[in-house]
Chains A and B, each alone.
Chain A
């Protein structure tokens, strides 16, 4: 006999795709997102030029056949820098968000499941973290710790752990009293089995949606920090950094600034559209 689990999940998938087809915006968003993800994976392989390759002769050229998005003040190809830059964005925002998700969801699950004093204490600590304005908090931490990719990653996690933990907790609190969980207790399932086999699969939908929302926020955060000079350092092709460097040339060569800025907006909007689609698939009925 084949594994019933695999069967049910593949049918779930086809149903999910069916629901997604009815939301073209989400489909476009997902495609754009996947495009950037692919570029991040391929990185320099996909770029027509090296991202650091300078050419004084080709300085500040507007978009043309050789350089589709033009060149910057050092004659570097902007398209290549944007494509390669997506790798840094995905690495930093992605791993930062995933780390935050791992820590936050773990805290939320246990806190919500066991409740009582631990729950109260943890939640008050998280409230303190939540009360700081995110960008200010990030600036403070980075100014103290020094700007480095690792620190940036830690900052993202610290910022997003509280929100993910709260969401995971409230989802668990809701599921914990459901009758199927009580049925599991009556047949003597252990706590960990109840938490990971009964509750978590049902909490995954809202958690995934929240994680992808946080991901799009963190793209923005990484770019903002790069722009402020506290993120990735030059000559990295970070998008925020590129915008910062391009500021003084805006009047004469606006494309240096507009294309990285456009890339940020595109990826953020695409991620949000994808999230909407995800929400529709994972939490049908909720709007």
Chain B
């Protein structure tokens, strides 16, 4: 039953890669249809085959990719089996592509205008002048300020968000029938992401394209898409309209995935996340029955016998689960996770940072004094403290100085001024001058698990070194302790002999956590330890960190750009912008009105994985100013949506104190802020 409004349709599409291990079926039997003006979201974790599906559907696989079966149609044209030379007339003109990383999608040595107008000349047959005019028009459509000057710039002169808008303009210039967006906002900051998502939503309406939106982020999908397909290990396990999917997921994988996302919850309350045990099956060893059976909490014997087909179980809602009608609702499922005890009593301080400053010289030179430029004030006077057994979360966009602050605390980078106190005693600034008794108290988990483990050292060695150096254990004692630590981070004992390259990203990060815990420190610095991992892996690590904290009474200083994860893990939260704190206080107070206008903007920018939660759209425009030329007065005034006047530009704001040490660095009084912000984020009553 061909439906004329369906623009793009794949039917039973099966794709594979020819590898040394043989032909691996990366996508199996994928069926989807997208209508005009419809946005179809494909959600899945890494390795689920979502990008392969999109690339295979438009015949754009790498040389070892194969279309093994099924069909893929754009309107009346069957794309599978078309040769490259025929496809070239379709790619770029009838199909637009936007990739994850805008800085590599554009040619760094050509001006933006040239790159855009080339597309217009190639596919629309316009003259050079017409193409130029068309490109300028397109840049204006994607809300670029001053398109004429942007046309003359090179990609490196633009910020990530602007580049992505250029790429979107380039993809849309031919008014393609199908627009494919592959994780277009993953490389961007939340505030920029929000602007780009708004833009995409608006352009869909204007251009009447069908959109295939690929992402790992369930929250983004809920804000943008009409229909969603959830992929797991190369298959769709569920497809539904967005609202149905979030209200009543009918596949255990979707259910678990929703439970994995640290939910930004206006009501607060601490609970473990529902994590998914095990890992995605390998493509060369797919199970006979349901592909999710080995990780499913609702598995029965019949699930393992034969693969359940994806079938329509409710109008417009299909699921590949035999027991779809016996699953709990998302809310019930989330409530099944155990609660985390909340300790309200006043606890002693472990770490205190007083007026910490760190600036970098303008140019690093050994001979000569480096010229004129101003120094970069990465951290510009931060005072905060961490209490025993508590977590202090520091949030901020990239470039706000949070990582630099952590490096200064760890002693890896020298500080410019200010003081560090550990248990009330001064901490030597350089890690090399810290005695082992001090090092033992303060350990760190790094952002990138691939880089933080020495590729030539076994897991055993990685964990046993701090045991021997800092805890003073003998080789034999250390070996016993390594097994205990591996058990504590839920890794099998046999892993001690493995090399990092034999571990997955999540497993590496578990080893790094075990290493940080080895010497039983009092405080662990966590440098975005989750940001490079998949959601389900993130969830299990968030749970692990909570459990280990509860068991060992350790404190965390956790920095992240992910507000939901910070809210989930933290007892105290500090919001950082351009090297200084903007707001600081108890987690519940920081994420409830009154907010600092910057916090408010962040909160309204993060997509919430729930179509029922309303967010007032507050968008920050422009990019974070350079830390080499910090704005006078309140340094947020250049982007502040609640700026009250010239006072913001000339005078540094006061710290306004609320209850429980809650502080806001703003000229607007707290009562006024509370009144203005009452409905910034709220659960819609009854939909």
Contact = CB atoms under 8 A, between A and B. Distances in A.
Chains A and B come from one and the same complex: yes
Interface of A: 1, 4-5, 7-8, 12, 116-117, 120, 178-180, 182-189, 198, 201-202
Interface in B389-425: 410-412
B460 interface: yes
A186 B411 CA distance: 8
B469 A178 contact: no
Interface string B429-456: 0011010100100111011100111111
Contacts of B442: 186
A8 B499 CA distance: 7
A188 B469 contact: yes
Of B432, B454, B479, which is in contact with the most chain A CB atoms at under 10 Å from its CB?
A: B454
B466 interface: yes
B52 to A, nearest CB: 21
Contacts of A187: 439, 443, 465-466, 469-470, 519
Given A8-B497, A179-B446, A183-B512, 11 more contacts: A4-B460, A5-B461, A117-B366, A179-B447, A179-B448, A180-B451, A180-B453, A182-B446, A186-B431, A188-B439, A202-B455
B456 A201 contact: yes
Q: Is the interface of A mostly helix, strand, loop or mixed?
A: helix
A164 B81 CA distance: 52
A179 B366 contact: no
Given A7-B497, A185-B432, A186-B444, A179 B458 contact: no
A120 B454 contact: no
Nearest to A1: B479
B456 A182 contact: no
Nearest to B412: A182
B439 A186 contact: yes
Contacts of B451: 178-180
A179 B444 CA distance: 11
B469 A183 contact: no
A203 to B, nearest CB: 10
B458 A4 contact: yes
Given A4-B496, A120-B367, A179-B451, A186 B443 contact: yes
A180 B366 contact: no
Contacts of A4: 458, 460-461, 496-497
Contacts of A202: 454-456
A183 B458 contact: no
A180 B452 contact: yes
The 4 A-B pairs with the shortest beta carbon distances in the complex, nearest first, are A179-B452, A201-B456, A179-B451, A180-B454
A198 B461 CA distance: 11
A202 B515 CA distance: 20
Nearest to B525: A186
B404 to A, nearest CB: 14
Nearest to A178: B451
Contacts of B456: 201-202
A180 B466 CA distance: 13
Contacts of A1: 479
13 contacts: A4-B458, A4-B461, A182-B410, A183-B444, A183-B512, A185-B432, A186-B439, A186-B443, A187-B443, A187-B465, A187-B519, A188-B431, A189-B469
Contacts of A116: 366
Contacts of B366: 116-117, 120
Interface string B448-486: 100111111010110001100110000000010000000
Given A7-B497, A8-B499, A188 B470 contact: yes
A179 B532 CA distance: 15
A183 B410 CA distance: 10
B458 A8 contact: yes
B431 A185 contact: yes
A117 B442 CA distance: 32
Nearest to A12: B499
B430 to A, nearest CB: 10
A123 B470 CA distance: 37
Contacts of B455: 180, 202
A12 B457 CA distance: 12
Contacts of B496: 4
Contacts of A189: 465, 469
A15 to B, nearest CB: 9
A280 B442 CA distance: 40
Of A117, A120, A185, which is in contact with the most chain B CB atoms at under 10 Å from its CB?
A: A185
Nearest to A204: B456
A248 B410 CA distance: 73
A188 B469 CA distance: 7
Contacts of B512: 183
Interface in B515-543: 515, 519
A27 B211 CA distance: 51
A170 B57 CA distance: 44
A185 B469 CA distance: 11
Nearest to B459: A4
Interface string B139-152: 00000000000000
B436 A188 contact: yes
A183 B515 contact: yes
A9 to B, nearest CB: 9
A93 B679 CA distance: 79
Contacts of A178: 451
A198 B452 CA distance: 11
Contacts of A188: 431, 434, 436, 439, 469-470
A186 B410 contact: yes
A144 to B, nearest CB: 34
A4 B466 CA distance: 17
B406 to A, nearest CB: 11
A198 B497 CA distance: 17
Interface in B475-519: 479, 496-499, 512, 515, 519
B602 to A, nearest CB: 27
B487 to A, nearest CB: 17
A174 to B, nearest CB: 11
B458 A5 contact: yes
Contacts of B465: 184, 187, 189
Contacts of B498: 8
A185 B412 CA distance: 8
